[in-house]
Amino acid sequence: MSKSRWVLVLALVAAVLAWSTLTWAAGPAALNAGTANSFVPGEVLVSFAPSTSPAAIGALHAAVGATVTGAIPGLGVQVVRVPSGAEQAAIARYEADPMVRYAEPNLIFHATYAPNDPYYAGLYNTSSAGAINQYWLPKINAPAAWDSTRTLSTSLMVAIVDTGVDYNHPDLTAKVARNASGAVIGYNFVAGNADPKDDDGHGTHCAGIAAAATDNATGVAGASFNSVKIMPVKVLDATGSGTLTNVANGILWAANNGAKVISLSLGAGSYSQTIQDAVTAAWNKGTVIVAAAGNDGRQTISYPGGSLYALAVAATDETDATASFSNWGIDIGVAAPGVHVLSTMPTYSVYLNTQYGYFTNYDSLNGTSMATPVIAGTAAMLMANDPTLTNTATVQLLQRTADNVAGTAGGGWDIHYGYGRVNSGNAVAKVYRSATAGSFYGQVVSAAGTPINLATVSAGGVSYKTGSNGMFRLANLPVGTYTVTAVSKRYGTTTAATMTIVPGADVVLKLVTPK
């Protein structure tokens, strides 16, 4: 297919998935203690073996530099004071001693918020997945995030660059960005007008995942609660297809009109410099670009997910296993639920209803398309909650607070999950998982800005040879400072400034060769 005819298709599952029907139990009560997202500074709990003498216990406390301040007598647990910031070192010192059963921080527990949207916890009979609820929101620890963000209501916009949005849907109309005259802030690049109405259904579903009106006693909840607005940008037609031109224009339009996060649940199999340039332009405006990994179940990432500065999202299921359809590879940055995701559908009949039998109003879909707005909505909420966050800091925050469901050594990166399945509550609270490794991830380009094939990128004794898209990953390097070098026989050698690994996250680099 020629570049002029290059067509992008929705990142929906191409074939019917053989998933069994799941029924989800009723959700938590409105107040449900037990989500820990912080700890008391300078306090550690220590439990000793029953036979340990008071003298030995006192000697160990002295060696650690701790002072006993309290106890839980029924459990044989002592509360000790250590210098603030030294909690983890003290815990490691205690647990290295055989007379200690365990040591842990004095966690702070919060009542977690459960919204009154009926299908958040209650069951909805979907067209293909049976009776389900929004299991994925508790899965990503969203209620803990909502404890501190549910009162936020900002004008920060997350752009759904897709098939459009049913902006009159009762669960979306109050969340769609509008100007002073009440007109929707959005655009339709398929029709060339300012009406981004959805005629497929996919965009409306993604919009609800990211930012459905929440706690409104209607339908479903959104990942971002009510903290942000939806910008609908239609670049795909009623069948879910669209041109490279439309997608590039949509990315640029969204960034130029104030979107802080762009959600791209679409993809094509070939690298495009035009798409890369559009993503780069949006990134340079401070926008977070989130894109689907693709649904071929193989080691290749769809574009723009595989583009520099795009955060590629893999899909997981109800058990945190990688979804069978989810693509994987060096570009994966993070994962999110993408199986049996219940969300909004247009209130009128569209292509997904007439051709595939999906329901109007609400239904469940599968795909990395669904995982993408989970991340996009969460990213938008983080930026609304902390306006000082840059796009780089937001991406790294998502990665550093994700749950290490792959069990990667050192809390590092995994080829299927990236840095793990997103944990919304930890991201809002900035509770980082324990990590001692991170990655340099990026692209090698010529002086003209085009990708360099077969360049060797090296740092810390680790090397990677780029493919035709110029992308590389030096994965799971120990935390430290490195010099990153790219060598190309044809285009010369370039060396990045000395760079420091961020534990549990990517440091994104563009290496420009001399020629």
Would you name the residues annotated as active-site residues? 162, 202, 369
SS3 440: strand
Separation between Cα atoms, residue 131 and residue 206, nearest integer Å: 20
- Do 269 and 348 meet the contact criterion of CB atoms below 8 Å apart? no
Q: Which residues, other chains included, contact 319 with Cβ-Cβ below 8 Å and sequence gap of 6+?
A: none
- Do 199 and 166 meet the contact criterion of CB atoms below 8 Å apart? no
Run of H or E including 110 = strand 100-113
Separation between Cα atoms, residue 302 and residue 456, nearest integer Å: 23
- Do 314 and 293 meet the contact criterion of CB atoms below 8 Å apart? yes
CA distances from residue 309 to 12, 174, 284, 442 in whole angstroms, order as listed: 23, 31, 9, 8
With CA atoms as reference, report the closest residue to 317 among 77, 110, 87, 22. 22
Run of H or E including 113 = strand 100-113
- Do 211 and 345 meet the contact criterion of CB atoms below 8 Å apart? no
Number of Cβ within 10 Å of residue 274's Cβ equals 14
Q: Which tokens belong to 498? A: 């000395």
Burial group, residue 479, by CB count within 10 angstroms (0-12, 13-18, 19+): middle
Give the strand order in the sheet containing 471-478: 471-478, 437-445, 506-512
Separation between Cα atoms, residue 449 and residue 456, nearest integer Å: 17
Using alpha carbons only, give the angle 400, 277, 179 rounded to the nearest 5 degrees.
80
Whether residue 98 is preceded by a cis peptide bond, meaning omega within 30 degrees of 0, is no
CA distances from residue 341 to 172, 363, 370, 372, 403 in whole angstroms, order as listed: 17, 8, 7, 11, 19
Separation between Cα atoms, residue 344 and residue 114, nearest integer Å: 19
Q: What is the largest CA-CA distance in the chain?
A: 81
Separation between Cα atoms, residue 515 and residue 513, nearest integer Å: 6
CA distances from residue 174 to 126, 193, 216 in whole angstroms, order as listed: 24, 22, 10
- Three-state secondary structure along 324-365? CCCCCCCCEEEEEECCCEEEECCCCCCHHHHHHCCCCCEEEE
SS3 155: coil
SS3 480: coil
- Do 446 and 461 meet the contact criterion of CB atoms below 8 Å apart? no
